Amino acid sequence: MIDSKRLENAFKEIILALGDDPLREGLIDTPKRATSMFMEMLEGMNYTNDEIALMFDKTFEDYNQNSDSLVIVKDIDVFSFCEHHLALMYDMKVDICYRPNGKVIGLSKLARIADMVAKRLQLQERIGEDILYIVKKITNSNDIMVRITGCHSCMSARGIKKKSYTVTKTKIGNISESDLL
């Protein structure tokens, strides 16, 4: 669990380390506001993948037993924080594709899973792995692909200072890139 009091004190220390005064008028409430923001933006840190699976395990019987059927949800907007630099990963889009295996998950739950998993100190590669794990746990599907495209401010705002998009793909079973088109 995120320790809000400790986080607030850390923000005060950061302000001091930057050479500013945390008691100055514009900064008096900054540690509280920053703590509140980070607690919201990193909410996923409070839950394991198994807890997220339980949270969003809302499925329906799959009446279409056609083995070629796919469920695809594309362009789910998420953001995350790079665990190496605490830098924002932004303009992220998550695509999830799975073949139902007797049941389907509520579509909004796929977006909620992607959002909650991303709200952690993460690697883009691990976000895909975590989403795949949770979708498999809920749906029992053997055919799943998660594709993520995103910008990393650890590249665009520092270092090389070039905006680029990183694409990661995580899959199990018989799903191909062409299935996401």
Q: Which of 13, 84, 125, 177 is catalytic?
A: 84
Please count the residues of the chain: 181
Q: Which of 97, 122, 151, 152 is catalytic?
A: 152
**Interstrand relation of 103-105 and 88-98 (parallel, antiparallel or unpaired):** unpaired
* Whole-number Å distance between alpha carbons of 52 and 137: 10
Active-site residue, 85 included:
yes
Q: Which of 8, 122, 124, 151 is catalytic?
A: 124
Report angle CA 32, 34, 56 to the nearest 5 degrees: 105
Q: Which of 82, 97, 151, 177 is catalytic?
A: 82
Q: Which of 85, 125, 129, 177 is catalytic?
A: 85
Three-state secondary structure call for residue 68: coil
* Whole-number Å distance between alpha carbons of 165 and 58: 32
Report angle CA 141, 166, 94 to the nearest 5 degrees: 35
45: closest CA among 108, 120, 115, 100? Answer: 120
Active-site residue, 152 included:
yes
Active-site residue, 97 included:
no
* Whole-number Å distance between alpha carbons of 123 and 81: 8
Q: Which of 13, 51, 83, 125 is catalytic?
A: 83
**Would you please indicate which residues are annotated as catalytic (active-site) residues?**
82-85, 124, 152, 154
